[in-house]
Amino acid sequence: MSTDRIASVLRAAALLHANGQTTQRVIDATTQLARAYGYEAIVLPQWDVVLLRFRALGADAHTLWRDEAIHIRPTGVDMNKVAQTTQLIDHLCALPSPLSEEEVLRSEQALSAIATLKPSSAVRFVFMAGFGASALGVIFGVTSLLTLTLIFFAATLGAILRRALAGENLFVQPLVAATVAGLVGGVAQQIFKDAQLQFVHITPCLMLMPGAQILNASIDLARGRLTLGTARLTYWLMILLAICTGLLIGLTLSNGSLADNLLSTKVPLWLDILATGIAVAAFGTLYALPWRILVAPILVGMLCHASRWLILESGGGIVLGSFVACLIAGISTAILARHLKLPFAALAFSAVVSMMPGMYIFKLSSGLVEVYLAASTATLPMLAKVMYNGTATFLIVMAMTLGLIVPKMLIDSWLDKRI
């Protein structure tokens, strides 16, 4: 067996797995590439490693398999790397197989170039984080220019620190960025008297939400990949824990607080749609989506949020609104992800990021700490608030997850049968 060919397959699998591609698409693309190289392959993605077994095409049943592994964790989200890797694999699979040594060398060079691609520039990353957090504030009804300015400042400062801490522990970046948001929000509460200042520490933390991870985890669990799905789910929960911990640390140090009832105003539909487009563009930046492709998730996000706004206005409730909006997003992004060669989870979450129940999650964590500190003197209203926020978080996350992954799995099943 050619070591160069096997190394190329391993590199392609690592690029897809590490940057947010769904597990099934990683398996399909890697298997197709191996076949183009003249091998039959079995691909077994795990949390810390991707295991592959190779043998030459046409080998008899007694031929031994060659086992290889590449150590990689699926903790990143880079839609540009996934798109370019998938496009390269599709190009190679369209050529007569098995590929010549010259084509193998070119593919190896192309994969090496893709691996070294830089994420979004630091300037774009920082400013879009600020604009995205401010846009989320507008969606939630923030009208105060002071509050929106402070939101922008907290989010950009957190983004600067996230870039500075790149490569450190997986949970340091969200912990530090959330702490900064809590500090800025808490200090603002002490200096100013704006009733909407609560959003200064909430919306920057929403920009840290690991939505792509929960979607990939849900898809893996639904497909029976319990080990990988559980690992992804644990990773998602650990990031949430880091965000909540950082926020509470920042608020404690600055003597700030999370209000039970946040003061906001009703947002007109046109402003809601516009702010949604900005928020989607911001998350597209965080996920390294090229500008030329960004318009697709922006349009999907605007359509989904408009449907949610109309359901809320008609009294349908936030859970129903989130489910219907995510159902539309699931159908749209499942098709777009295949057409644009992008990872579904990142594309889908970019379109529905503003619907994540971040406020309920943060209130839940704050309420749990409050109940713990109160100990035996905890009151029934305190416990009721914790139960309400926990139930709301669970129902909204479940509604969003089902709305996104069920259409994805049905569409994939239907399209795969047609191939």
Sign of CA pseudo-dihedral 188, 192, 193, 199: negative
What are the pLDDT digits (tens) for 383-419?
A: 898 898 889 889 998 998 999 999 988 888 887 766 5
DSSP per residue over 106-121, as a string?
HHHHHHHHHHT---S-
What are the pLDDT digits (tens) for 181-233?
A: 999 999 998 888 777 788 898 899 989 988 888 889 999 999 999 999 999 99
- pLDDT of 42 reads 92
User: Which 3 state secondary structure label does DSSP give 295?
Assistant: helix
Residue 58 backbone phi and psi in degrees, to 5? 85, 0
CA distances from 383 to 359, 360, 380 (A): 17, 14, 5
pLDDT band at 307 (very low <50, low <70, confident <90, very high): very high
Structure tokens at 67: 């086992």
- Burial class from Cβ neighbours inside 10 Å (0-12, 13-18, 19+) for residue 97 reads middle
d(CA 344, CA 219): 10
User: Which 3 state secondary structure label does DSSP give 69?
Assistant: strand
Mean pLDDT of 13-19: 94
- pLDDT of 409 reads 87
- Burial class from Cβ neighbours inside 10 Å (0-12, 13-18, 19+) for residue 127 reads middle
Side chain identity at residue 207, one-letter code: M
What are the pLDDT digits (tens) for 48-104?
A: 999 999 988 877 767 788 889 999 999 988 989 999 999 999 999 988 878 888 888
Closest CA to 220 of 81, 21, 58, 370: 21
Side chain identity at residue 398, one-letter code: M
Model confidence pTM above 0.85:
yes
Mean of the per-residue pLDDT values of the chain: 88
Structure tokens at 337: 């992800």
- pLDDT of 63 reads 79
Q: Which residues pair with 91 in a beta bridge?
A: none
333 or 259, higher pLDDT: 333
- Burial class from Cβ neighbours inside 10 Å (0-12, 13-18, 19+) for residue 314 reads exposed
Rg (CA), the chain: 23
pLDDT band at 128 (very low <50, low <70, confident <90, very high): very high
pLDDT band at 177 (very low <50, low <70, confident <90, very high): very high
What are the pLDDT digits (tens) for 21-55?
A: 999 999 999 999 999 988 899 999 999 999 999 98
- Of 108-122, 243-257, 346-360, the one with minimum mean pLDDT is 346-360
- pLDDT of 337 reads 87
DSSP per residue over 116-178, as a string?
T---S-HHHHHHHHHHHHHHHHHHTT---HHHHHHHHHHHHHHHHHHHHTTTS-TTHHHHHHH
Q: Measured in Å, how far apart are the chain's first and last C-alpha atoms? A: 29
- pLDDT of 71 reads 92
